[in-house]
Amino acid sequence: MTHPAIAPGNVAVVTGGASGIGLAAAKRFAELGLKICIADRAGLDEAKAALGGDVLAVEADVSDRAAVEALARRVTETLGPVSVLMNNAGVGGGGDALSNPEGWERVLGVNLFGVLHGVQAFVPAMAESGRPGLVINTGSKQGITQPPGDTAYNVSKSGVKALTEGLAHTLREKNAAVTAHLLIPGFTYTGMTARRLPEKPPSAWTAEQVVDFMLESLDRGDFYILCPDNETTRAHDEKRMAWSAGDIIENRPALSRWHAEWKDAFAAHMAE
């Protein structure tokens, strides 16, 4: 690894680390010689057994600021100063703009405020230390292209994108030795996906593939870690994202990609 924060003996914290992308990342960091803390609301015993070694596993609800601040104190006291922070915990099932207020609060609390809590609890000390540091926040393509359905999830991941961009700018302006990066997974088969799909579809990547791609992207110094999958290429993603930006530039209807009157124009755009 070329990122200086990913070095043997350094400390990595992964939220949502008991399964999926978080667990896969924790395994890879451990293989690279880092000391690991995983935080999650469930599944910690199984994850700790899967990781092996001396892993700190902490039950924590990232939507609770006090719980994340307590997590930061415990990690520092137990393992030492943090070099790698991966704000990865996430949930879905929020609902559309007119439904499920409780679901909205849960999704925004975990997916957006959970990331903010992690950033504000850990990153100031990381930046002030003068040591190399790495922050990875898990976003989503849905936070960029905004497919209809789970609008709450889209809003939360749009917020993570904006937060991470702003964090990267702030760290750069402070000349900190800490860098921030936005992980944008493609279609990935995780525990969240498995609730509706009992078997991994051929089109989906595994969590391990996402983490390998993430590490390769960090080697290149990428801020936007835009993952493909087994059916969607980067070129395909770029066209979808360019169309979404074009809604504003060309003053099209909101989410014109899914608008009946713009269906053919979108298809032509993708075929170019």
pLDDT tens figures, 172-223: 999 999 999 999 999 999 877 777 888 898 999 999 999 999 999 999 999 9
- pLDDT reported for residue 196: 80
The pTM assigned to this predicted structure is 0.97
119 has a pLDDT exceeding 90: yes
- Residue 86: alpha-carbon gap to chain centroid: 8
Q: What is the pLDDT of residue 195?
A: 76
| pLDDT of res. 198 | 83
* Average pLDDT of the chain to the nearest whole number: 97
**Among candidates 187, 191, 233, which has minimal Cα distance to 209?**
187
Residue 183, H or E segment: strand 178-184
Report how far residue 119's alpha carbon sits from residue 126's, in angstroms, rounded to the nearest whole number.
10
Task: Provide the pLDDT for residue 129.
Answer: 98
Q: Is 153 among the residues known to form the active site?
A: yes
Catalytic residue among 29, 113, 153, 266: 153
Domains and CATH numbers, the chain: 11-231 (3.40.50.720), 233-272 (no CATH)
The model's pLDDT over 69-83, given as tens digits with 9 standing for 90+, comes to 999 999 999 999 999
pLDDT of 212-264, one tens digit each? 999 999 999 999 999 999 999 999 999 999 999 999 999 999 999 999 999 99
- pLDDT per residue as tens digits for the range 3-58: 999 999 999 999 999 999 999 999 999 999 999 999 999 999 999 999 998 999 99
How much is the average pLDDT of 128-153? 98
- Edge to edge, the sheet with strand 224-226 lists 56-59, 35-40, 11-15, 82-87, 133-138, 178-184, 224-226
pLDDT value at position 264? 98
164-168 average pLDDT score: 99
The predicted pLDDT at position 236 comes to 97
